[in-house]
Amino acid sequence: MGKNKLTKFSELSELENTYQNYDVKNPELINFEGDVVEMKGRWNELHFKNDQPIVVELACGGGEYTVAMARSIPNRNYIGVDIKGARIWKGAKIAKSENLTNAAFLRTRIEQLNLFFGEQEISEIWITFPDPFLKHSKSNRRLTSPFFLNIYKPLLKKGGFINLKTDSPTLYNYTLEIIQQEKLNLIYEKDNIYTDELYTEELHFKTYYEKMHLKNSRTIKFIRYTL
């Protein structure tokens, strides 16, 4: 492991806005003080200290989208989730430096969300430019697959949105097929969001990867639906 990564891991463990599950076989959350904490169903009570809706960004990477949403929409609480500590370090550091008290980060596998969130604790989910897993044999690893939808369902408030923003035609079309197959409620879909006025405020935010995709003339797609 490189020295830079070790430095980031060390700094990440000292950030009050970040919780980490180091060991998938031992699903405990560790806070910045090194204590085991029980956050399931208690994020607003224990961390945010308010009753605002909780929005979760899955596979948040460097946390750019989580930070942008928290910065622009202060009346909601945002939690970026990723397994890579060296990635979320960046977003967590920015959120701390800007005193974004409505932004937090959770380092864990998405398969383990139900261990760290209570029933109907999440108001909305954002999935921004995830790995599309282009091989059909890996389609169950896509974050909009039935496998993951079954994880989200008990955690998401009734009528809570799932939002997918992607440049991948494969993931976009697959998600539409799953929505139809599972008889879910499609709210909005657009295969090129920049041909019209943007559907929702959050679509204005661009990650590093989206800027690269646009520079390479790829179209950005968006789907909003409920379970």
Q: Judge whether 131 counts as a catalytic residue.
A: yes
Chain mean position to CA 162: 10
Q: What are the Cα distances from residue 31, in Å, to 22, 58, 64, 72?
A: 11, 20, 22, 26
Catalytic residue among 23, 35, 82, 131: 131
Tell me: pLDDT of 79 over 60: yes
CA distance 102 to 70: 6
Asked whether the CA dihedral 42, 46, 51, 57 is positive or negative, the reply is negative
Q: How many domains does the chain have?
A: 1
Q: Tell me what pLDDT residue 6 has.
A: 65
Torsion, Cα of 11, 202, 226, 126 (10° steps): -20
CA distance 67 to 110: 19
CA distance 107 to 87: 10
Q: 23-56: per-residue pLDDT in tens?
A: 778 889 999 989 999 999 999 999 999 999 999 9
Q: Tell me what pLDDT residue 8 has.
A: 77
Averaged over 176-193, what is the pLDDT? 98
CA distance 17 to 155: 21
Averaged over 95-114, what is the pLDDT? 96
Q: 194-224: per-residue pLDDT in tens?
A: 999 999 999 999 988 899 999 999 999 999 9
The pTM of the full predicted model, rounded to 2 decimals, is 0.94
DSSP characters over 97-117: HTT-TTEEEEES-GGGHHHHS
Q: What is the CATH number of the domain that holds 141?
A: 3.40.50.150
- Two tokens, residue 166: 């992607």
pLDDT band at 12; cut points 50, 70, 90: confident
Beta strand ranges found along the chain (DSSP E): 18-20, 29-30, 36-37, 54-58, 77-82, 103-107, 122-128, 156-166, 185-190, 221-226
Amino acid (one-letter) located at 5: K
Q: Express as a percent the part of the chain with pLDDT over 70.
A: 97
CA distance 106 to 60: 10
For Cα atoms 69, 155, 193, give the angle at the middle one, nearest 5 degrees.
Answer: 40
List of residues 6+ apart from 198 with CB closer than 8 A: 204
Domain that holds residue 120: 3-226
Mean pLDDT taken over the chain? 94
Q: Do residues 148 and 186 touch, judged by C-beta distance below 8 A?
A: no
Q: 118-145: per-residue pLDDT in tens?
A: 999 999 999 999 999 999 999 999 999 9
Q: Do residues 203 and 222 touch, judged by C-beta distance below 8 A?
A: yes
- Two tokens, residue 127: 């999935």
Q: Tell me what pLDDT residue 1 has.
A: 44
Q: Do residues 82 and 128 touch, judged by C-beta distance below 8 A?
A: no
